Amino acid sequence: MSTFILADKRPYTSKGDVTFYLDYAGFKANNGNVYCEFYLSSFTDQFKQKITDSNIIAEIKLFTKIEDYFGNTFYHNSWPTNVALPKNNNNSKNLIFYDQWQVELSPGDYNI
């Protein structure tokens, strides 16, 4: 499990067993809310891998939670993601996994 400490330097780097990098973009929605996109990346050599006939598979389960300043949860979700790596790749330490998700929020300050 990794936690993100949001600071001025972006992309943000997680603290925990697996290192992830997080960035985001916010856009004004038509209804006055903020449409937020979150971008997550990590090097694939950190994941437990399973070998198949043609690939190396890493299954990752992502958990997200967005809270306001008072600790009230506005959004939470989890989803599995499978990362397929070529079996014959000698540069697996250099491969990067990407994921993206979006959330619409009321204007304000949040923790993720």
pLDDT of residue 3: 45
Mean pLDDT within 6-21: 79
How many other CB atoms sit within 10 Å of the CB of residue 20? 22
pLDDT of residue 36: 92
Determine contact, residues 102/40, Cβ cutoff 8 Å: no
Residue-wise pLDDT tens digits, 48-92: 888 887 778 888 888 999 998 899 998 999 999 888 877 766 655
Residue 103 has pLDDT above 90, yes or no: yes
| CATH T-level assignment (fold) for domain 2-111 | Immunoglobulin-like (2.60.40)
